Amino acid sequence: MQNKFIKLADLPPNPFDDAALEHYKNMGMNVCLLTEDDVKLVENGTLNPEYKKAIQNIADLGMQVWIRNMFNDGDYFDCPEKKAGSNYGTPYEMEPRHITGEFQEFPAVTGFYMADEAYMYQLPERVNIDWMRPDSYLYASFDKLTKLVDWKNEHYPNSFFHINHVPGRSWDHYLPRDGQIFDYEDFLAEYTNVILKRLTGGGRSVCLDNYPLIGKDYIEQDYIHDLMTAAKVTRNYNASAAPEDQAIFGICLQTFDAKSMFDDRHRDIKMPEEVTLQMYTGMALGARLFEYFCYRSYGHEMFGILGPDGKDRIYEYVKTANDRAQFMEAVLSEYTSVGAFMVPGSLYSHNTAAMVMARDLFCRPYEITVDGTYDTLVGCFTGEREKGYMLVNYTDPIRQCSSTVTLNCGSVEALRLYKDSKKTVLKPEGGMVTVTLEPGNSAYIVW
């Protein structure tokens, strides 16, 4: 997995349905979550034999298994007595269990999905915001989840530890406390301080969900700001972490009919380019983990890659996107992300407000200047002896805008271009090279 990007999807297939698992894998997934949707974790206080069979079934089909903490609860694996709680407003009960090294017999179990959208700290029983649920003090928070860190450190020190985070606009997850006001960067940095620094080995992530394609023909303004913030926090954490304790940056991909949290807007995926836009944006910022939301539909409330009837809905769009983007994985695995910047389109800029919002997060190298007819995201990378730049056509693909991107290369005699699964050599004319970026497409240039 070291040189492969991690790809998994929420609401995974039934682990006892080989055909369904194979279909999931063929879409490009290499990790399958094991949830309790089709099999319970615990039976009579111990690990359920059927759960073990589910692990082996996934492993036999060549995928890695991540165990999903279904209730975002710190006692999920070690609960001394029957417990009732609230999972973001949904009541649950857990029977006692004391799971330790039982998963060690399965080499395919390489990670744990420990929680989703945890709060920065445990909220008090009363908060001064009237629309928040009265049981919010029961929800998962970083301080409550440290028990999971200690459990993994003891029993699975080499396994991956994954938690996904809210987007920046979910400010209820990092409310002011003791007169101190926090921003989104504070929130993610606190996660690295409370959780990541407590881990004593194994892979780990800084991952967020922000779904960018909700409006009719534009990218949400806060999308690039949130992703750049999370990428920055990941770099800052890694700067002082030992090599074995490094984190990877991850993003959730919108592969469902997404609805706005604030109004009646909603939008479905209509083409593979809408998925590659998200993948290439993440890659340009250093992402190596993609969490697809969601694979199976959730009743008739949320329409995912498969429809409520279990048949393919937008499966071919997502598979096509994965097939196209796979070429960049091997290329980028040789380089380290150091930041990114954006350039407004000279013909038309559709994302000016987003650039203003994210401006203070830009890094600007001195050796390159970029101009594009439409907005361009430029990811900056370093290798052992050379530099690389990832160019992304950052315009909603639904607009069908092909962008002509020109780079001023100075005195460089030749560049390597990786695009559309091909590697070519470019020789600048007058210090300039030009690349065409089709809708939802990208290119990687080695300096």
Assess whether pLDDT exceeds 50 at residue 1. no
Position with higher pLDDT, 81 vs 447: 81
257 and 303 Cβ atoms separated by less than 8 Å: yes
Please state the rounded mean pLDDT for residues 146-162. 98
Residue 396 has pLDDT above 80, yes or no: yes
Do 377 and 391 form a contact (C-beta atoms < 8 A)?
yes
The total number of residues shown for the chain amounts to 447
Average pLDDT for 188-211 = 98
CA distances from 171 to 12, 221, 253, 258 (A): 29, 16, 21, 20
| 417 or 3, which is more confident | 417
Are 406 and 399 in contact, with CB atoms under 8 Å apart? no
CA distance 147 to 18: 35
Cα(152)–Cα(159) distance, rounded to whole angstroms? 8
pLDDT at 366 over 80: no
Reported as a single tens digit per residue, the pLDDT across 327-364 is 999 999 999 999 999 999 999 999 999 999 999 999 97
Answer whether residue 365 shows pLDDT above 80: no
Residue range 235-278, pLDDT digits in tens: 999 999 999 999 999 999 999 999 998 888 999 999 999 999 99
Give the pLDDT band (50/70/90) at residue 367. Answer: confident
Q: Which amino acid is present at 253?
A: L
Query: pTM surpassing 0.75?
Result: yes
pLDDT given for residue 440 in this prediction: 98
pLDDT at 412: 85
Integer angstrom CA distances of residue 177 from 100, 402, 436: 36, 47, 49
Of the candidates 273, 284, 281, the residue with the CA atom closest to the CA atom of residue 321: 273
